[in-house]
């Protein structure tokens, strides 16, 4: 019985799919939508002349009768010391994607010569995102009074309102800022009652503005460019090199 030896080629034919893969990549380049990274805009407003009116009221659940009257007068007298005209300085930082405001990352900050708020969350803005020009800012926050870790006698309550500069000659300002006094005792005597202090701020007609402005008005940062086609092409080149490497490995097997 003759035994015939035979040689069997165990190699699996290489199926070259590079044209198909590269075709899919080309389709992606031509027809996939272009996604831009979130854009950050920074700027500031011109000085605003404003009038603040403060008021205070003691906690009616905590005090009654003559104590309530006396404690309310103490809080109200204190708030009225700051009822005066101010020059308000404002700067903002807006984060958006395709003109959709990111309210979790956008904020506005207000300053006076002796006071500066914490960043206040922007809830809505009106204007031109492409030009970084805005005419209305709406904002709200529960934390606005700074350095409370150093002053435990005060508790933040709220800060909300809007600034509208659609008519630069007649800006509209409507801000309500609220904080709460905590009780303070010295040698057993109450020296600061539990009370709520409210400051309402509005634009002042024909204001006398401070000569200096720490925030020169206008945009102060260029708009970052979206993800460029160069980055996309670099990614495609990397993908193509991976395809060639896979094909060469198959060819050697």
pLDDT per position as a tens digit, 155-199: 999 999 999 999 988 999 999 999 999 999 999 999 999 999 999
pLDDT per position as a tens digit, 20-52: 555 555 555 555 555 568 999 999 999 999 999
pLDDT per position as a tens digit, 187-242: 999 999 999 999 999 999 888 888 878 887 877 654 554 444 444 444 545 545 55
Between CA 210 and CA 219, with CA 214 as vertex, the angle to 5 degrees is 115
Dist. CA 41–CA 58, nearest whole Å: 42
Dist. CA 237–CA 241, nearest whole Å: 6
Q: What is the pLDDT of residue 175?
A: 98
CA 127 to chain centre: 16
The mean pLDDT value for 78-93 works out to 95
The mean pLDDT value for 120-137 works out to 96
Structure tokens belonging to residue 101:
């405001």
Confidence category of residue 143, pLDDT binned at 50, 70, 90: very high
Q: What is the pLDDT of residue 147?
A: 87
Structure tokens belonging to residue 104:
């979790």
Dist. CA 135–CA 244, nearest whole Å: 55
Domain definitions of the chain by residue range:
39-219
User: Which range has the worst mean pLDDT, 3-7, 105-109, 117-121, 145-149?
Assistant: 3-7
């Amino acid at each position: 019985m003759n035994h015939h030896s035979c040689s069997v080629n165990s190699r699996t034919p290489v199926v070259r799919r590079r044209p198909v893969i590269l075709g899919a990549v080309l389709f992606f380049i031509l027809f996939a939508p272009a996604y831009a990274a979130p854009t950050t805009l920074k700027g500031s407003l011109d000085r605003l002349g404003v009038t603040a009116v403060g008021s205070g009221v003691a906690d009616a659940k905590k005090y009654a009768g003559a104590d309530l009257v006396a404690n309310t007068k103490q809080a109200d007298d204190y708030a009225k010391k700051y009822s005066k005209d101010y020059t308000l300085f404002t700067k903002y930082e807006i984060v958006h994607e395709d003109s959709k405001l990111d309210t979790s990352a956008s904020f506005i900050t207000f300053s006076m010569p002796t006071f500066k708020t914490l960043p206040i969350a922007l809830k809505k803005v009106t204007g031109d995102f492409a030009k970084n020009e805005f005419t209305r800012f709406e904002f709200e926050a529960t934390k606005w009074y700074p350095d409370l870790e150093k002053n435990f006698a005060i508790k933040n309550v709220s800060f909300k309102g809007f600034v509208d500069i659609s008519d630069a000659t007649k800006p509209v300002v409507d801000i309500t800022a609220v904080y709460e006094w905590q009780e303070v005792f010295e040698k057993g005597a109450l020296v600061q009652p539990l009370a709520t202090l409210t400051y309402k701020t509005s634009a002042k007609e024909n204001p006398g503005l401070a000569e200096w402005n720490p925030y020169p008005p206008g945009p102060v940062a260029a708009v970052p460019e979206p993800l460029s086609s160069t980055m996309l092409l670099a990614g495609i080149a990397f993908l193509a090199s991976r395809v060639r490497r896979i094909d060469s490995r198959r060819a050697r097997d």
